[in-house]
Structure 1
Amino acid sequence: MTESTQDAQEFWEEFYGGHEKVWSGRVNAQLADIAADLAPGRALDLGCGEGADAIWLAEDGWQVVAVDVSANALERARAAAEQRDVAARIRFERHDLSASFPAGSFDLVSAQFLHSPAKLDRETVLRRAADAVAVGGLLLIVDHGAAPPWAGEHGHEHHFAPVEEVLAAMALDDRRWERLRAQTVDRDAVGPDGQAAILTDNVILLRRTG
């Protein structure tokens, strides 16, 4: 997945521009595992897509700000939230995260698979994500460790940064952050045509202490 110079908004509007849902509608597994036992508070969902994570958090009692660059994605997410009767708990905002960022501080900031074939200043986005975490709050970053078997040629060409590389690029102050998880996790998954596979996730979970 070599990064192109295509405008991010243009790319993702096209990506979500069809009539069919793109994603499964299920919460991302690592978020569900980590957030299930947390006391609900304020959450920020970066790159919310069609809204599955934001809806799951809202159903668990969180107040959520859900962000995406695509108006098509946000429209689908908002409709799904209304159907699940949690729209009042979610504020949807449109941002190109390389250029703008939602205001406020949050008890949980979640960046799930924030990869993009369109231009994305990921290091800056993740540093801003860290800045948005309230003292005592959590930053959760989940990345692909490798392309899934069903990914196209571009997916297999993409460099998926390992955990330590991501942490080094963020350059966070160890005196203000506690590392709770920084690991590679395998999980069972089902592909778009029903094929079974084991996928690798890189999971970073940090607590802001000061």
Structure 2
Amino acid sequence: MTKQPPTPPESPGPAFRHGFTRHWPGYFEAVVGKGPRETAVRALDAFAREGIPAEGQEPPLAVDLGCGEGRDTAEMLKRGWRVVAIDGTESAFEFFARREGLLEHPNLETRLEPFETCSIPVCRFLNASYSLPFCRPEAFDALWKVIRSAIEPGGRFAGQFFGERDTWASIPDRSHHTRLRVEKLLLGLDVEYFKEDESDSVDAEGQDKHWHVFHVVARQPE
């Protein structure tokens, strides 16, 4: 099914303002053309050092959970992975159509599903770049259990959690965690990369935004 790309807004503005309001077409417009997230690249590089994907073998499966406009999905496909790209907003896949050949890629499957009801297949790599904070808090624990059980032995998780000092922590429909809570969520995984970032930004309207983010790459033991 061919979809026409959405009409760009007159002024995309800072991406985080659109994230605050869940105005996803505006967010996708603000970040369109950017490269893959660092955590996704770190995980893919780690797999590459292990010889994955292996030449001449069936491509391993990656799930891009909250795939957005497709920056990480495109990188996975370029590196020889099969990808199930999941997002809860249809506009995400309209932006996929802007990337030449992405929607038609034979190793891509797209699914329009919200976090609260999404079905995650067993996979070698589960990527969740800046998406888990937008899972509703009452659904987060169940989603995390599904994520943990979906990752094969030797597979990896890459993504972000937002901390309790983030400006958006006061928004009722966002999932935020203390460092201790994040560490507990990762128990049983081999944590290969863990970085806690705090920084401040100012949007075009002069409103402050404090970021508190945990960046993670973790491996499922074999």
TM score, norm. by length of structure 2: 0.65
Conservation of the 8 A alpha-carbon contact between 1:98 and 1:121: yes
2:190 paired with 1:178: yes
* Corresponding residue number in structure 1 for 2:160: 142
Deviation string for 1:122-157 (max 9, x for gaps)? 22212211111111111223124454xxx7xxx263
1:80 is aligned, of 91, 98, 115, to 98
Cα distance in 2 for residues equivalent to 1:20 and 1:67:
15
Gaps spanning 5+ residues in structure 1: where? 1-10
Cα distance in 2 for residues equivalent to 1:24 and 1:65:
20
Conservation of the 8 A alpha-carbon contact between 2:68 and 2:87: yes
Which contiguous aligned blocks of 4+ residues in structure 1 show a shift greater than 4 angstroms? 17-20, 83-86, 117-120, 189-193, 197-200
Cα distance in 1 for residues equivalent to 2:23 and 2:138:
16
Conservation of the 8 A alpha-carbon contact between 2:39 and 2:216: no
1:161 is aligned, of 177, 186, 207, to 177
Structure 1 residues 20 and 37, CA, compared in 2 at 3 Å: closer, same or farther?
Answer: closer
RMSD: 3.6
* Corresponding residue number in structure 2 for 1:51: 70
Gaps spanning 5+ residues in structure 2: where? 1-18, 54-59
- Equivalent position SS for 2:117: coil
Deviation of 1:59 after TM superposition, in Å, equals: 1.4
**Percent identity between the two aligned chains:** 17
Deviation of 1:110 after TM superposition, in Å, equals: 1.1
Deviation string for 1:38-62 (max 9, x for gaps)? 2333211110111111111111222
- Equivalent position SS for 1:72: helix
* Corresponding residue number in structure 2 for 1:107: 124
* Corresponding residue number in structure 1 for 2:37: 28
- With a CA cutoff of 8 Å and minimum separation of 6, indicate the structure with the bigger relative contact order: 1
Cα distance in 2 for residues equivalent to 1:120 and 1:95:
17
Number of residues of Structure 1 aligned to a counterpart in Structure 2: 183
Deviation string for 1:78-107 (max 9, x for gaps)? x1344458722321111122123133x211
